[in-house]
Structure 1
Amino acid sequence: MPTARCTVKALYDYRAQREDELCFPKQALILNVDKQEGGWWRGDYGGKKQLWFPANYVEEVPSSPTRELDENSPLGTFLKGFIDVPTCHVVIPKDGRNARPYVFTIHSQQLPSHPVQTLDVAADSLEDLTSWVSKIREAAQNADARMQEEKQMERRKKIAVELSDLVVYCRPVPFNEDKIGTEKACYRDMSSFPETKAEKFATRARGKRFLQYNRRQLSRVYPRGQRLDSSNYDPLPMWLCGSQLVALNFQTPDKPMQLNQALFMLGGGSGYVPQPDIMRDDVFDPFDKDTLHVEPITIQLQVLGARHLPKNGRSIVCPFVEVEICGADYDSCKCKTDVVADNGLNPVWVQKQFVFDIHNPTFSFLRFTVYEEDMFSDPNFLAQASYPVRLLRTGYRSVPLKNSYNEELELASLLVHIEIVNAKEEDDENLYMSIQQLRDRTSELSNKVSLLERSGSADLSYQQSLEELRATQDQLSELVEARNRR
């Protein structure tokens, strides 16, 4: 059934295939979205109302800002307070409180200079009250005993200061942005970030600052506690900003986990991957392609065929392949082949070349996803394969396919042809620069049009921007098609 209407942001460029579909560039904001079943939604963009577009090309924009979660608590906003058990003292009033007969009072004072905290707790029965009081007193006694034991061990253990200074360890400390780049920043200190806080730093405005922190210190990012379905967030922005430990829910077979497996191919599966050299360049900004001191590359790829594709149930599959570059926003791109009817054993695709311009190949991934189109034209996942761009080799390649858990599927594979060339040398440099300028201009105009649409403006400026956006998109499509025909 249709769900509530919302706003979404385009993750990739999309060119309409039919008259009732939207055409939009990456980063475009599509308004008044009506979520329909079957992987296709309807929305408003560029002066067109309630046209169709693929749901997997967009991500939903929160309708209202969420409350900032407590970075030190996995419970987030569910945590309303706490009591220091070792310092607490329990008292049972004789007559209860507020018409409740079974009440006990907890008094807690962490330091002599701090005020005494008092909390009245009501139980349902005398048995529950006795149980609660005994457990609290037992916990307080055990905590006090442990503290005394640790102090005695410190007195007994004699360790030379010089030897202790040689020991390198991670000390968990709260994050302090003011220490970044100063002498107070200690390489032993590690701070933890819930994904919501990390996402605020892994942005165009603050990404370079976060990368500067990660050059000197360690950061650990973990999923927020409200992910009750164990879903995962996108780890790519955190990796681009240099976060060393990006924790994911390993039990969930989704795209973030598949990219995580691809990343650690670079270290031979050892669990450690060296950061690219560009991350240690003071000029480098992970969200600004103009600060890259690496040569851009162009990947020319053809999906030729496949074999032994898995199938859902007893039906014969109608497969198509989605080819995607995952990386920084300026590199991310997605294309797909045509659908082959009723052939999952050895489908063959008409030769169609996909061209990807990659500015930051040191931190980009090539991902193949095989889908089945069912009788309702809905895509159903069949298999996938993800690889770092740095590990790609040219020529005809057999790509082993894996399931959603990144386990190899017996005999299933794709046959592809890959050419990797220097982007500026392969093309006429003027053609290459024209394509990049048109893409940048399309993104700027798309943001401007979306801003005017949200403000409800329909003046001359809006119409001029809309017409310029459509003209720029047409010019970009013509240049890309001209280059692909070469």
Structure 2
Amino acid sequence: MKIHRSSLGGATDDNENLQKILKKGLLYFKDPVDKSWNLYQFVLTQQELIYTSEISECRNGNSEDDDFGLSSCTLNSNMQQKQKDTSANDELHFGENWFHGKLEGGRQEADQLLETYKHLGDGTFLVRESATFVGDYSLSFWRRNRPNHCRIKLKHENGSIKYYLVENFVFDSLYSLIVYYRKNMLRSSEFSIILKEPVPQPKKHESQDWFHPNTTKEQAEQGLLKLDIGSFLVRPSVQSVNAFVISFTINRKIKHCRIMQEGRLYAIDTMQFESLVSLIHYYMRNPLYRNVKLVHPVSQELLRQSLIENAQLHGEHSNNDSSGASNYMGSNLEEYVTCKALYSYKADKPDELSFPKHAIITNVQRNNSMWWKGDYGGMIQQHLPANYVKVIDSATEDYNSVTEEGNDGRTDSIEIYGAVASLFESNEPGIIIKLQIQTPTMQNPFIIGFDNQETAYEWIKSIQDAALIASQLATERRKKERTARVAKEMSDLIIYFRSVPFRDHSWIFQEMSSFPETKAEKQFIQQNMPLFLSYHRNQISRVYPKGQRLDSSNFNPVPFWNIGSQMIALNYQTGDKAMQLNQAKFRNNGQCGYILKPAFMMSENFNPNNPLSDGLIETKVSVRIIAARHLFRGGKSNNPQIVVEIVGASFDSGIKYRSKVNENGFNPIWNESFEFTVHNPQFALLRFEVQDEDMFAETHFIAQACYPLTCVRQGYRSVILRNKFSEELELSSLLVNIEISNREST
């Protein structure tokens, strides 16, 4: 059963796919992590049942401290609830520091605030909602050692609301009224005064247990790591003066969510709150990240105890470690992760782990690239294939990861071919009936929950119809495969290489050998590099993906190109970094599909890992990232940053530059310069990647552009940006200035 990573909410490119959708709707599915029933969006097609936890349009979730851009994944229902909970906040005054909204203590609290800040002098003021006259406002100010209060009255003129303190001197908005009286005298029969300094907003969060004014990011991560899911604390941001950070636990991982203070308001993405306390209370009732709420506030004392325990555990680990290697959090805390099964697996050996699709495997040790160890179903530390699982909420990304919209939304699917569906009653709260689906390839049944019997009967009928259609389609497909023939005359026109098993001598130029990526990596790069450098000067080799790549992912082709392999077989249907590099590599020579090896590769003295090899021309590259335009992901505004890297020889490869995050995705300006040296420019690919950094410090792919360094032209250039499939993005481009200077290696 293949895992699909496409968003259900996105536009479909093929109208035929729309016609294949048989049924869709919101149904209940038990979350494999927290064991709770949550609403998922289900789409039934003629061949599969797709489901995702993203039931609304949303944007999920590294900078050095707080890691964050702007976005959250809050359900529409939460947004609607928040809109109901708050007053209209589109007025200009709503975000001003002098506006205190509805004070709980009313006039008495206003008096206390003015008394507290009386040292600011006469004219210190605040504006609040009137407790006596609903809908009106009150101006409270300090004058002659005592607080004073004036009612700001409202009246309607020509269908609009007017605000005034003095009769017949009205203003279009409360904001305009205050701005005027901060520059001009407010006069009455009893006094005259100019409004000066506003009373600062109360910092009620400072008295809360969960607020940690002096805790660092590292201390938060270390202290929260072993606490329950939903444990949290709030700390000031190191990166920004007007920002705070929520650090919270989720599946043995620590996430950090940035809160921006905008005037008197506290904002997470588009959600705004009048205080940090109300923000935290809101997310204690509603999910902040996926299905995780802020459940367990962590006090400073609890954090201190947790840090002491971790320090003691780390000390014991260090004392038992003969190598003396140390880790800030203790390596024994980082070795174990939790994984979710992408596919079912049946053990072939006694020390292997059997598990169904969607199984949650705990205490997983990633001590090998091919086989990991983990616990499931009573089996402890048994081997499992690494490519059959994914780490839940892993902060790391592998070589080929290109983050897409919807990757964090848990989108999976099951095949409908051969499915048997049945209904049975449920005794779980809120779920009155369950639908069980079993297919020949599933070890465990797939169960959906319903709170309505009629809906359940509709879905089981649709699934049974879909299973019948899938069976008919499979039969037709097999018939077409049997009847398809290739004319012999067509075959005779083609000149073939003769495929032979590899041998280390007596090479014939028209023969070729094929290697899976694992064998090629071992033989080409690790064990027999000199032999294969010579082999590739005389004969053709082909490297293809290993059989375990069930998800059609790709391997890094660059090391094999560097060793001289001529044919790298990739999964073209997968838009990942490997395919982007492949497209860039063959942009040379007019994109005809053939490029000539550099002359130095034909030398017997050539070593791809030696920057001093003969024939290399050291190149100094200076790049100035000036600006960009139209950097959007899924039609939404975002917070782009530019990452520039060189992919090529091992001694040249790496990220050369990472820009600051810019909160303008329409026409951001950086105007930042950097330079680097490339020792082997013939191997080098210059790659620009635009990423969107969200509020949880997670980066999302927006666009990329990749070119052979030898094809890059100097001067001011408008770099056309492309999507993950290397297709041009309309209007999106990057403005750069590039200067290149060469000198031959000695």
* SS state at 1:383 partner: strand
Q: Answer yes or no: is 1:219 the counterpart of 2:541.
A: yes
Measured against aligned partners, the alpha-carbon deviations of 1:81-109 in whole angstroms (never above 9, x if no partner) come to xxxxxxxxxxxxxxxxxxxxxxxxxxxxx
Give the match for residue 406 of structure 1.
726
Map 1:12-411; keep pairs closer than 5 Å: 36=253, 47-50=326-329, 63-64=367-368, 169-177=496-504, 179=505, 184-203=506-525, 205-314=527-636, 316-334=637-655, 335-341=657-663, 343-349=664-670, 351-411=671-731
- After superposition, the Cα gap between the structure-2 partners of 1:204 and 1:227, relative to the gap in structure 1 and judged at 3 Å, is closer
Measure the CA separation in 1 of the matches of 2:712 and 2:686. 9
Measure the CA separation in 2 of the matches of 1:235 and 1:37. 34
Measure the CA separation in 1 of the matches of 2:252 and 2:592. 42
Give the match for residue 441 of structure 2.
none
Larger gyration radius, structure 1 or structure 2: 2
* SS state at 2:536 partner: helix
Measure the CA separation in 1 of the matches of 2:676 and 2:330. 28
Map 1:3-14; keep pairs closer than 5 Å: none
* Higher normalized strand content (fraction of residues): 2
Map 1:387-466; keep pairs closer than 5 Å: 387-422=707-742
Measured against aligned partners, the alpha-carbon deviations of 1:337-394 in whole angstroms (never above 9, x if no partner) come to 00011x1111001x33222211110011000000111122211110000000010111
Unaligned runs of 5+ in 1: 4-13, 22-33, 53-60, 68-149, 151-166, 430-486
TM-superposed CA distance for 1:317, in Å, is 0.8
* SS state at 1:398 partner: strand
Q: Which moved more, 1:294-303 or 1:224-233?
A: 294-303
Measure the CA separation in 1 of the matches of 2:330 and 2:740. 37
Q: Tell me if structure 1 keeps the 8 A contact 2:256–2:696.
A: no
- After superposition, the Cα gap between the structure-2 partners of 1:65 and 1:422, relative to the gap in structure 1 and judged at 3 Å, is closer
Q: Tell me if structure 1 keeps the 8 A contact 2:256–2:697.
A: no
Q: Tell me if structure 2 keeps the 8 A contact 1:292–1:360.
A: no
Measured against aligned partners, the alpha-carbon deviations of 1:187-222 in whole angstroms (never above 9, x if no partner) come to 121101001011112325532321210110110111
Measure the CA separation in 1 of the matches of 2:580 and 2:648. 14
State the identity as a percent: 43
TM-score, normalised on structure 2?
Answer: 0.36
- After superposition, the Cα gap between the structure-2 partners of 1:62 and 1:211, relative to the gap in structure 1 and judged at 3 Å, is farther
* Higher normalized helix content (fraction of residues): 1
- After superposition, the Cα gap between the structure-2 partners of 1:259 and 1:65, relative to the gap in structure 1 and judged at 3 Å, is closer
Measure the CA separation in 2 of the matches of 1:35 and 1:331. 36
Q: Tell me if structure 2 keeps the 8 A contact 1:333–1:356.
A: no
- After superposition, the Cα gap between the structure-2 partners of 1:226 and 1:324, relative to the gap in structure 1 and judged at 3 Å, is same
Measure the CA separation in 1 of the matches of 2:495 and 2:596. 19
Measured against aligned partners, the alpha-carbon deviations of 1:83-138 in whole angstroms (never above 9, x if no partner) come to xxxxxxxxxxxxxxxxxxxxxxxxxxxxxxxxxxxxxxxxxxxxxxxxxxxxxxxx
Q: Tell me if structure 2 keeps the 8 A contact 1:39–1:378.
A: no
Structure 2 counterpart of 1:374, which letter?
D
Structure 1 counterpart of 2:651, which letter?
Y
TM-superposed CA distance for 1:329, in Å, is 1.2
Measure the CA separation in 2 of the matches of 1:299 and 1:35. 42
- After superposition, the Cα gap between the structure-2 partners of 1:176 and 1:292, relative to the gap in structure 1 and judged at 3 Å, is same
For the aligned residues, what is the CA RMSD?
A: 3.7
Measured against aligned partners, the alpha-carbon deviations of 1:16-60 in whole angstroms (never above 9, x if no partner) come to 779867xxxxxxxxxxxx9847799xx9997442399xxxxxxxx
Q: Tell me if structure 2 keeps the 8 A contact 1:202–1:237.
A: no
TM-superposed CA distance for 1:313, in Å, is 4.7
Measure the CA separation in 2 of the matches of 1:361 and 1:304. 24
- After superposition, the Cα gap between the structure-2 partners of 1:17 and 1:300, relative to the gap in structure 1 and judged at 3 Å, is farther
Measure the CA separation in 2 of the matches of 1:373 and 1:205. 40
**4+ residue runs over 6 A deviation:** 14-19, 37-40, 43-46
Measure the CA separation in 1 of the matches of 2:254 and 2:514. 38
- After superposition, the Cα gap between the structure-2 partners of 1:39 and 1:204, relative to the gap in structure 1 and judged at 3 Å, is farther
Q: Tell me if structure 2 keeps the 8 A contact 1:258–1:386.
A: yes
* SS state at 2:696 partner: coil
Measure the CA separation in 2 of the matches of 1:283 and 1:37. 50
Measure the CA separation in 2 of the matches of 1:208 and 1:17. 45
Q: Tell me if structure 2 keeps the 8 A contact 1:208–1:284.
A: no
Measure the CA separation in 2 of the matches of 1:35 and 1:218. 48
Measure the CA separation in 2 of the matches of 1:318 and 1:332. 26
Q: Tell me if structure 2 keeps the 8 A contact 1:302–1:418.
A: yes
- After superposition, the Cα gap between the structure-2 partners of 1:419 and 1:212, relative to the gap in structure 1 and judged at 3 Å, is same
- After superposition, the Cα gap between the structure-2 partners of 1:51 and 1:283, relative to the gap in structure 1 and judged at 3 Å, is same
Measure the CA separation in 2 of the matches of 1:296 and 1:38. 42
Q: Tell me if structure 1 keeps the 8 A contact 2:581–2:706.
A: yes
Measure the CA separation in 2 of the matches of 1:265 and 1:400. 14
Measure the CA separation in 2 of the matches of 1:37 and 1:408. 37
Q: Tell me if structure 2 keeps the 8 A contact 1:401–1:408.
A: yes
TM-score, normalised on structure 1?
Answer: 0.54
TM-superposed CA distance for 1:231, in Å, is 0.2
Measure the CA separation in 1 of the matches of 2:256 and 2:715. 34
